[in-house]
Structure 1
Amino acid sequence: MIASASESDSGQEAGPIELRQLRAFVAVAEERHFGRAAERLHIAQPPLSQTIRRLEAELGAPLLYRTTRRVDLAPAGEVLLARAKAILAAVERAEDDARRAARGEYGRLSIGFTGSATYSLLPSLATTLRAHLPGVELELHGEMLTPAQVAGLLDGTLHLALLRPPVDEPELNLATIRRESLVAVLPRAHRLAAADSIALEELAGERFVTYPSYPRSVLRQAVESMCAAHGFRPRSALEAAETATLVSFVAAGYGVSLVPESVTQMTVAGAVYRPLRDEDHQVELAVAWRGDGTTPLVARALHIVRRELTTV
């Protein structure tokens, strides 16, 4: 409704203009005939005439010039017609957007991706979400470590996160969607680069480019556990939070590393990927979301993510 500071002819303070009055006025102004406008609105002509007279009284000015043959717009009516049509169109859009939001088809959706998922899953998932949710504003955040994603989910800056378990946070729900092995990434000039596969213990004396120790990366823990099972502790030469940076450091000769198999889809000049022999250690990829008050949009997007990405 529109607040009006005018006073009516009766001297009383005018009330707010109602949407039904605007719809009635627009119909008469466009039809230039009360009878046709009444038919358009599916009401009788006398109530329509009363509505227009009451609106004119509230505004304190004539909106229409009436003759026995036709209805013309007064100056105040010309101004109100343009404003009223814009207002009614905005109300219609607002109603439509509200219905779409209730169906999970409208709004903003923020998703975080761990490093490897940034390259292997983000492009295809973004395409799928845009196709199924065209009215949704997507915010996609790549190269996020699990602790940062957990913090984003808890403070509301993220709605969904593709991260590496484990996550010890009771407010979050997790569903595993994939499991994958770790592979070695080596400089192209490395002594083992030409091998079809390598044994993990062959890297015992190497310098490692690792994921961060703080905030502690889930993948760093996985790499250290695997190396410990083979009797050595990886010697860290450099740390990198972003997977692309980590592989680039390896390509530059700063050391070797272990990364999820999905990272092999990312090509970095000077780096080669080699599978590990006799290794059954796998890391999980999960989708995470807050358990309380999931909105229709988040629920709809979660369904799409799980349907499109789950392989376990």
Structure 2
Amino acid sequence: MSPDALAAFAVFAEHLNFTRAAERLRISQPALHVKIGKLARELDRPLYHRVGRRLVLTPEGEAVARFARAHDERLAQFLAEFAGAAPRRPVVLAAGQGAYLYLLGDTIRAVLAEEPTRLRLINCDHRQMLAAVRTGQAHLGVSVLDVLPEDLTVAELATFPQMLFVPEGHRLARRRSVGLRDLDGARMVVPPQHRPHRVLLEQALRAAGAGWTVAVEAEGWPLIAQFVALGVGLAVVNGCVPPPAGVAARPVRDLPPITYHLVHQPSAMSDPRITGLAQRILARA
């Protein structure tokens, strides 16, 4: 396989967009199509396919992207050692907003204080995190996972109950805990449609026979919490989220706890830099 084609495919796998990948590589889109098409023919496997308007890597494409990035990292490490310089390759961590805000902050601050170039961060949802780890774009990932991936190594970080955020003057604030039936008729602050938390909450409320309405859709726990503080509605959030002033947090009895997981390739722990960061994340969580 051509090293040039492998490097081009690694960039394409990161963007999954021919226009952006070609711009980053500073080549034309037709030239990038030729490189990736030739690579697929050499391997006799499709490397990506379309799902609607999106491009998605096949499992073979994920494996090629992972190999391409590992090849590039080994080459960079060899050249650094050959030149007598310390390797500058950062460890890449992929996680979502909640993990960065409430779980990983102390670890990131400590690592960057020791060596600012040691760590690179990717902010993404859980699907993007899994894709980043599978393709080698990220060495470690942290997220809430509904289904544990069989092809990756997974470790539990922390588990939290699901909490109802309610203004302190609300009748439910006088309870020690609440049930889903208590939310019948409530106006709720919820994530946008099709977000995993929104889907699971809707299913649970429907199963409990609790009717509710959308007060507002909000992206991210801080904004959801702020809307509750303003009196816009009630919200169900992960238990790691601190309630703002004027808001009470009550556990929801009939919702399952939320667990954050640390994810990596099975072979990743052969790198002492990745192992060190993973151990620090696990210890602080």
Aligned with 2:90 (options 108, 111, 114):
108
Matches within 5 A, 1:88-237: 94-98=83-87, 107-130=89-112, 134=115, 136-141=117-122, 144-167=124-147, 169-214=149-194, 216-217=195-196, 219-232=197-210, 234-237=212-215
Deviation at 1:121, TM superposition (A): 1.5
Equivalent residue letter for 1:206: A
Contact preservation (8 Å) 1:197, 1:275: yes
Structure 2 distance, partners of 1:157, 1:119, is 22
Counterpart of 2:69 in structure 1 is: none
The structure-2 alpha-carbon separation of the partners of 1:137 and 1:283, relative to structure 1 and needing over 3 Å to count, comes to same
Counterpart secondary structure, 1:186? strand
Greater Rg, structure 1 or structure 2?
1
1:159-184 deviation per Cα after TM superposition (whole angstroms, max 9, x unaligned): 32210112465543322222211010
1:184-211 deviation per Cα after TM superposition (whole angstroms, max 9, x unaligned): 0123443323444333311121122222
Structure 2: where are the runs of 5+ without partners? 1-79
| Match status 1:258 vs 2:236 | yes
1:78-128 deviation per Cα after TM superposition (whole angstroms, max 9, x unaligned): xxxxxxxxxxxxx89952514xxxxxxx53123233343333222222234
Structure 1: where are the runs of 5+ without partners? 1-90, 99-105
Contact preservation (8 Å) 2:91, 2:139: yes
Aligned with 2:265 (options 278, 281, 290):
290
Structure 2 distance, partners of 1:209, 1:237, is 5
Structure 1 distance, partners of 2:112, 2:190, is 34
The structure-2 alpha-carbon separation of the partners of 1:137 and 1:209, relative to structure 1 and needing over 3 Å to count, comes to same
Contact preservation (8 Å) 2:186, 2:211: no
Q: Which moved more, 1:154-163 or 1:199-208?
A: 154-163
Equivalent residue letter for 2:265: R
With structure 2 as the length reference, what TM-score do the two structures score?
0.59
| Match status 1:303 vs 2:279 | yes
Counterpart secondary structure, 2:138? coil
| Match status 1:246 vs 2:235 | no
Structure 2 distance, partners of 1:210, 1:116, is 15
